[in-house]
Structure formats: structure tokens, C-alpha cells
Structure 1
């Protein structure tokens, strides 16, 4: 069959990345967003967020003529054979539940224009059972009725590696109800399937669960080693050595077994909360009740990092000059959603600390969200005359700073390594007071 024409509804982080990469793979792609300013920026070749490699691919896709952007649902419906839903599903204000406002709005806006057979494919992370409900909504509103089918194809993008994760994923999951839907989805991913990428073909509910189950597992592993850090602090053990020892057990492995400040961002925190909330709604809350403690362990790491800073400052943060290295929730990203780094910086500011923040990519976002904080132009700039330096996001440029170079600008040689990113022995040998979570 001929390659289907694709639309991507929602051009945020997921949608823009998917649209650009699919166009580079050779598909005719139309990206849709209700935000006209965002559409204009993308059409002009500007990626509205930081993601390595994506601006170059956007330029290539636009130059090829295979990628366009619009604000019109009518145009998208007329253009596309396969419509990917990539809108946001944030946490509801005042609740752990997932906010499906944008997903529902996208389906309600697209469906009335679908007058021929088409496949709508959800990629957004949603509570299990959403696809079943949306199928009824979609077919009830579409002139083509049951000629329009819904499938689910969860995304597994890692910020900072999204291009490779889209072009060379470690697996594809197809939640489909018919052979036709499977054929359409396979055609929409043909170049990726031809690489030998494994495919799991399953039902809608399982496809919905895969992403939240994966994120819950990763969050649990991160919080597990941070729980061990709490134990290590109580008995004078070293969590870094403990983690290294566990990583050599091939039943466990070392990925995501890194102690430190914990996880943040727009996925793991809200996904595990929404999963626990949904499990309670369907009567199996006890099965995933441990996720509440996973979340609590993660939150405690932020408070404990502030405690380490306070201990190095002889119990008093008020009035101290503090250099905060990092604002993004992880390196190679400008995403500050639920960022542990900014949470710690804001807490120290609230305790009276003179906090200056630097991040290689997230400063503009941080300034807009938290104008009360002070910012600097480089790692050494914010460290000038500092009483303590606090590493909060493990950017490579922070790891590569020489202890002696930093010693030349600070007031006191004190450092809190919130990410276990530095060589403790090396910094201590250079005369620094070094502290890290779970290490004596």
C-alpha cells in the first residue's frame, strides 16, 4: 500500500518531535496546534524547546516540503490518513488524577471532520480505559462512523535523546482492534519496522498501561536506591559503593540505580500519581499503593539536600551566598517541570539564602517561572564569592570543572553534590568539604 499521510495533533515536545522525525523518514506530515504562535515558530524553522539534533532535522524536513503546520482541524482531517494524538495530559490542579481536557478537546474538534475511513492513534499517556471511552466519542461524532478506528501507540521518549528514540526505538507497541488498524499503523512506521524494531501487538488497555507501568518501574528503582541512601546516612555507609555493587548483579543492573536528588520532569512524577489514582478508581489501589511511598521518598531527597547545605553552613542558610548549578530536571533539556533543582533553589531562597542559579539551557524558562531567584551567566559566575556550591543538575560542564579553578572564585571550598556527579576523592584531595546524599 502507498505510504499514508500523517497528521500530528499537538506540537509540544512529543508532537513536534514525532512530526519532524516522521517527515525526515519520508512521510507527508501535517502538524496541528491551536496555538498559532507555536505553529508560526515551527513553520519558520524554530523549535520552541531545547532538544539536541531536532533543529537541524526541522530545517531538513521543511526544506523537503514534506512537513507543514496548521491550526485547522478541517484541513488536518482532509489531509491525513493516520492522525496521531500528541497533546498534553498534565496532572489535574489539586488532584493526583490525569487531566484529559486536551485529549477530549482534540477528539471533539477532529471527529466532526472525519468523513472517510481513517485511523486515529493516541500517543499521549492516559489512564487505562481512556481509549475505550474515546472510541465511542470518536465514532459517535465522526460522519464516517465506525469507519474511523482508534488505536494506541504509547511513546517512550527520553528528553535529551528524543530524536534517536523516535528514529531508532527499542520497541513499538500497537494497541489495535482490527487487522486494518494494524496494517495502517504498520504502514505509518514502515521504515522503523524495516530496521527490525520489535513490535508488541496488543489490546487498547494493555497499550495504555505500558507507558505508566514502565515509568512506575523506573521511578521505583530510583526511589529504591535513594531509600538505601537514607539507611546509609543513618549507619555511616556509602550508597555510591552500595549502588556500584548492586549494579554488577545482572538481575538488577545499573541503569536508574543512581542515588541523588531524585526524579522530576513532566512524566515520572505525574504518571505515577495518576496511575495510583486510577488504580484506586478501578478498585485495585492496594496493588500499587507502594507508588505513594516511591513518590514520598523522591520528595524527601529534596529536603535532605537542603539539610546537607545547612550542615555545611553550620546550621544557617540565611545570609549565605549559595551557587546553584542546574535548573532543568535533567541534563540536555530545558524542561523545568517539577524540577528538583529549582525546588531546592527556591527552598534555600525562602530560608534567606542569597541563591544564584545557572543552567546551560533552562535559564529562560526558570526566569519566567521563578523571577524571585537570581541568575548568572556561567557556573563560575554564580560561584563567585559563594559560601557553598550545590550541584543540582548533572550537566557535563559541571562535572568537568576543575576543583582548583572553582577554588579561585569561591569564598569557601564547600560543595554539595546532589547528583553524585563528581569524584568525591578528587575534590576532597583538593581541599574541598564535599557532601553527597547517602555518603558520610
Structure 2
């Protein structure tokens, strides 16, 4: 696969707007996705699923085709198992609030979760009296299956884990987790925001009951997400919102609700986003997710080799780049993460993320104030890494708490 050629599909890259190493937050978009969004607004900017005129029918057909494409791409049970949301957070909240957990029911998470997969359970603890238990990772954030087993029990009704950490890049073996959780009768919810853009996901093989992800992290339009659920899991899950499109029939006294996915998609949808979603998935399918994963791994290994000897640099998460998926989090002694990020941008337009990356408990529990995070994707190359490493070395040399020397 010629990733150098693919790079030219992205306007930001063609125009050399800087070195974009913030894809874990939101990915760039290729021409085909931008064209698909524009196509909706120029050719059929109307509502699907309600009116029966020819433009509305065109939108309705495209929505159905997008679900079919998603089902094929993610190995889903049925196209109707894919629900459009605005992001992973909405999907996770829909499940957390819809499971009907009661006082005394336990939920197991890990200690590396994004706030979106931790705060909803905290709120249920405070409002419904559920109990929370945690699978503990090592200091470097690598998942510990034995700790997870110890957290399980017959009172556990739900297990909610991030497939891939947005801080350490460490991957949770979801299939193994699901098998253990199901033996206890627990539902399995997965935050796939960081995993889905970078590895092959087969929903049926993973065995989770629910899987939430953000399409805007995998070349799709901003504000587009997905919630996948098995047919059985979705049948018993109520919607988070009610209104147009979610019902079968309403009288003055009663309401019957539509089946999934309609029951979960209240009001008019982001049809332009759905058009762009199909284009994004088609683009990734042509590349092949195994190729994407291999490209990410190659760049992580190269990045590690280029920055590991910078004096004052410490990694947040494992040093082994093969365990980091597509993210490299670190700090420079004597400097705050935000300061490093701003200096990288000022020196050579290096765009990275800084702070606690919405994973506050992970940092607080380890006494770390935050980190700088460089994340790669299919449009990055070694030249990007070279520029990043050179700028980072300059920051450490000039402003860091240690004088930097590079080993030969």
C-alpha cells in the first residue's frame, strides 16, 4: 500500500498546514469524504425517512446503504444494529442509562478509562446506588486480565471497558473480557473510539453486547458516531431521547416505539454526516485495516527510536512502541505539557494534544499532572516524525530541566 500517495488525498497535507499529530482527538478527512458531504447539500438537501418525493427517497436509500456498508465493514449482526449518534460519548451514555441498573448492581471498569466511560457510571452510583469495581493495570497502563477476573462476581451486571487507551495506546483483549463477563451474566460495553480507526473490528468475533465509536476519529465528518448493539441487547434497551422517528404510533394516552435503529434516532438526522460516513468507510475498506494497523505500528516504532534518548523525556505508558497502538504520550522534565505543545506548534507547526486527555483518574491516581500526546494515522509519514523529533529536541535542549545530548 502506497501511503505516500494516500497522503495527497487530504487537503491539509497537500497544503502543508503543518505536522498533524492529533488524530486521536479527531482525524483529517480525505477529498472523497468532503465531496460526499457536499453532495448531500448540493444534490439532495432534504429529509430522509419521512417524505416520499424523489429527493427524500434518495436520502433514505443512502442512509440504508450506509448501514449496510457499516455492517459489512464491522462484521455486524445486521445493518439495523448500527445506530447513528453524534459521538462515542452519546452511545456510552445511552447504554449506561438504559440498562436499568438498580441499587446493589455492580459495574466493572478499568483504571485507564476515558471520562466518557467512567463519569456515566459515577452518576449512576450517586443516583441509583450501583456499585463500581475496577480492574487495575500496572504502572504503565497495560491491562491485567487477572485483576479483571478478581473484580468480577455474580453481582456484576455490566462490564464497560475501553478497547484502546487514548493515553497509553494499550489494547484490552475484548474477546477474552466478554467471555469472562458473559459467564457471570454481565453485559459488555466497549468504548471503541481509539480502536476502531486503527485496527480491524469484527463485532461478532469480539462478542461485546454494545460497541460505541466516533466516526470523526476515522476520517468521517465531525459530530458523527455509532452505537452498535446485538439484536438481543438492543431489544431491551430504551432510547435516551423520544420524539419524531422513534415511534410506531402515538395516541393521546399511549405510545408504541419503533424497533432499532429508528427507536434510538430521534428527530432529523445528520444526513450530510451519514453521506460522509459511507465515503469514509469505503476509503478505509480500500486500504485495509490490517494495512492501517501496520502503518501505525511502523510509525510508532520509528517515533520511539527518534525521541527515546531526549534527556528529560519520560513516557506515560509502556516504552514498547508495539504496545502503544497509535499514540505516544510523554513529558519533558521541567516543562508543563501545555507549554511543550505550544512550543512545538510555534517552532514548526507541530500539532499535538496536551493535558489529561479526558482520562483524569489515570493521571490523578499516578500523580501525573498531564502529558503531551503525539498520535499518528494513515496520512502521516517519517518526515512528519523527523520534524516532530527535531522540534521536540530543540524544546528540551533550550527550555527543559536537563541539558540534552544525542547518543550516536
- Greater radius of gyration (CA): 1
Q: Which has the higher contact order (CA 8 A, sep 6+)?
A: 2
